[in-house]
Each structure stands twice: as structure tokens, then as C-alpha cells.
């Protein structure tokens, strides 16, 4: 059974950087597409970034393109989200999720397993 656990959230000033991590427990991490989503108070959960199983192809929401980088270490069964030039509007709970589907996956219903999330707060 796959389990995901995020870590690394916190409070950062606007313009700062933060890296959140997601530890995968289970078999065959390297065969899963991994994604990051976020949900701000009063808003729907939205796609942030995803990484194919090899890590060679990554996809980003327009709102974070050029500022966020998703990466994965298949040996450690961990996926990361490096966030740069953070803005107050990036404030949200960040969730990682895994999907057995390949290719570009940006819809939450394409991901079967979710972590509990980690809070990222960007102060102005």
C-alpha cells in the first residue's frame, strides 16, 4: 500500500525560498507519476507540478512556471518541490500525490494516493 508524507513547509518572507519533500512508502516508486497540488483557504485544490516516473519530464502550472522546480530521487523514493521567489499568493497547504498513469497529469482525480499536506505561508 502506498503512503505519502510531506515535510518541509513553514513560514517564509515574500521573495524567499523553500523546499518541501514527500516521502513515498510502498513498492515501485519509480513507476509512479508524482504530482504536487496546493489548496489555499476558501479555494479549490489546484495543480502545481508533476514529474514523470523517470524524472526527465516535468510539468508546471503557469502560475509557478520559472519559480518552482519538481524533482525526484528514485533511490530515496522521495519527490521534492523547490520553490523560489515566493509570493503571498503561494500560501497554501501543499499536497503530494501519486498516479499510476503516465504522461502529463494535472487533474486531481488522476491521482489515487495523497499525503496529508504541509503548510506553506508566505508573508508580505
Residue range 2-60, pLDDT digits in tens: 999 999 999 999 999 999 999 999 999 999 999 999 999 999 999 999 999 887 899 99
Residue range 64-94, pLDDT digits in tens: 999 999 999 999 999 999 999 999 999 999 9
Does residue 110 have a pLDDT over 90?
yes
8 C-beta neighbours (distance < 10 Å), count: 15
The answer to whether 50 and 69 are in contact (CB under 8 A) is no
Write out the three cell numbers for 108. Answer: 486531481
Amino acid at each position: 500500500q502506498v503512503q505519502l508524507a510531506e515535510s518541509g513547509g513553514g513560514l517564509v518572507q515574500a521573495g524567499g525560498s523553500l523546499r518541501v519533500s514527500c516521502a513515498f512508502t510502498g513498492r515501485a516508486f519509480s513507476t509512479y507519476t508524482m504530482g504536487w497540488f496546493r489548496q489555499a483557504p476558501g479555494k479549490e485544490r489546484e495543480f502545481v507540478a508533476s514529474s514523470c516516473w523517470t524524472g526527465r519530464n516535468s510539468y508546471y502550472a503557469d502560475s509557478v512556471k520559472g519559480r518552482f522546480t519538481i524533482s525526484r530521487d528514485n533511490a530515496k523514493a522521495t519527490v521534492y518541490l523547490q520553490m523560489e521567489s515566493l509570493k503571498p499568493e503561494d500560501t497554501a497547504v501543499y499536497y503530494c500525490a501519486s498516479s499510476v498513469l503516465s504522461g502529463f497529469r494535472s487533474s486531481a482525480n488522476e491521482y489515487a494516493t495523497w499525503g496529508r499536506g504541509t503548510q506553506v505561508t508566505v508573508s508580505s
